[in-house]
Amino acid sequence: MNRRQFLIRSSAAVGALVTTQFLQQAQWLITQQDKPLLIAPRGQILSTLYIAQSEGKYALFLDGLPNEYDEPTFTWEDFANQAWGFDRAQTIDYLREQEGVTKKEAIELLSHRADEYQVFDWWARHASPNALAYRYLDTLDLGPEFGHGKGAGDVRLIDGFHPGNDTLWAEVPDLLSISLLQGRLNELGESTRLQLLEGDYGLG
C-alpha cells in the first residue's frame, strides 16, 4: 500500500492553498456541518473523482460511479492489441493456441467478439472507475509518505487487498482527507473536482 499525507504549509508560502488556515476552515466545516470543504478547481472541470462510503472509509472513483460496468465490446483483434499490445500476427498465434483452431479459423475469429470474462478482468484492472482513480492519483505528487513531515490526513493507494487479488483501489479515511485531497489537486493545477456521493453503493 502506498500511503501519502498532505503537507500543511504556512499561509505566507507562495502558491500554497493547503495551509494552516485552510486546515482550520475544513475542520470547522466538518464539525459544524459534517461535510468536507470542497473548493472547486479554477477553470474548466475536466474530470470528477466520485467518493462513496466503504467500510467506514471513503473510496474514490474517477469519471464513473461505483459498480458501474459499461461493458466494452471488443473484437479479438482490438482486445488483444488494447490489452496485451499484440499485433495481428501475434493475435492469430494466440487464438490458434488458446482455441485449438487452424490459422484460417483464427483469422476468422479476429472479427468475433472477445471473451467476456477476459474483457471484464482487463477492464477491472485497467479501465474501471476505481482503477482509473488509483492510476490517476499514483502519478501525482500528493505529499510525503505517511508519518514523514508536517502533514494531516492521508490517501491510500492499494494494489491488491491480499495475495492473489489484483484490485486497484484508492481511498481516504475521513472528511478532512477529502478536503485536503481537493485542496492539493487545486495546488497542482489539476482540473478535477471531488464529489461526495449519497446513498448505499454496496461497498460495505
Q: What is the pLDDT of residues 88-137, one digit of tens each?
A: 999 999 999 999 999 999 999 999 999 999 999 999 999 999 999 999 99
pLDDT grade for 204, boundaries at 50, 70 and 90: low
Q: In what order do the strands lie in the sheet with 2-7?
A: 2-7, 151-159, 168-172, 57-62, 47-54, 192-196
Give the percent of the chain with pLDDT over 70. 96
Distance CA 54, CA 157 (A): 14
Q: At which residue does the C-alpha cell 474530470 appear? A: 47
pLDDT of residue 53: 92
Given a contact cutoff of 8 angstroms between Cβ atoms, the answer to whether 67 and 124 are in contact is no
pLDDT grade for 14, boundaries at 50, 70 and 90: low
Give kind and range of the element (H or E) at residue 60: strand 57-62
Residue range 81-90: average pLDDT? 96
